[in-house]
Structure 1
Amino acid sequence: MSIWAGRITSALVVIILVEDASVNLFAPQLIEAEMSASGFPIELVPVLAALMLLCAVLYAYPRTSVLGAILVTGFFGGAISLHLRMGEIGSPPQLISLLIGVLAWLGLFLRDANVRTILPLRRLA
């Protein structure tokens, strides 16, 4: 049961990454205001999309899923830091980024016994 929950959670993370990358690639005008507000030039949108797609592929493929989870965490950690620098403490983009990072590791934890061995959760007595 936990394997399927992990697969579903992981699939949700991959879908979010692919959807976000698709918006960046095919409708960059939708994020132009956010990009300029954050100080990123609009020319970096394809680079960000490529990074998101790379994270999604590495995370989805079982042999590289741990590396993918690390990269997903780093990518969204950068987004959290960016919004913190902009003075947006506890903003929706920060909370969503945090949630995606947590979901990435939760999905991996539930679907991969090796990750459960490395990151054991202990029960309180």
Structure 2
Amino acid sequence: MKSCLVVDDSKVIRQVARHILETLQFEVREACDGRQALDSCLDSPPDVVLLDWNMPVMSGMDFLRALGESDVTNRPKIIFCTTENGMAHIRAAIDAGADEYVMKPFDRETLESKLQIVGMA
């Protein structure tokens, strides 16, 4: 079974993403900020990370940079999931190492298509 780490400071977003991912046969873990997410990835890298941009403690961009500098062996696919929709934000996320980008709010069809693009569906 593929695994996904859902990283968002909103419990509601984590619950919605968990529900969608579980219907797509993913094992789901959650983190409420980038620091928790980084610790989780270093401990046991998931196949894919659904990553929020704006979070307390450590932002999505800071998490991406830290993950890139870490010695994690099986780097997960990263899908940024955010309300930030400007081209500059999207470009910055891709340049920092994100594999794909999805806008909030998202639905099952949108998330499934993004997972297919990164080879996870």
> What TM-score, normalized to structure 1?
0.26
- Determine which structure has greater relative contact order: mean sequence separation of CA pairs < 8 Å that are 6+ residues apart, divided by chain length: 1
Normalised TM-score (structure 2): 0.27
More strand by share: 2
Please state which structure has a larger fraction of its residues in helix: 1
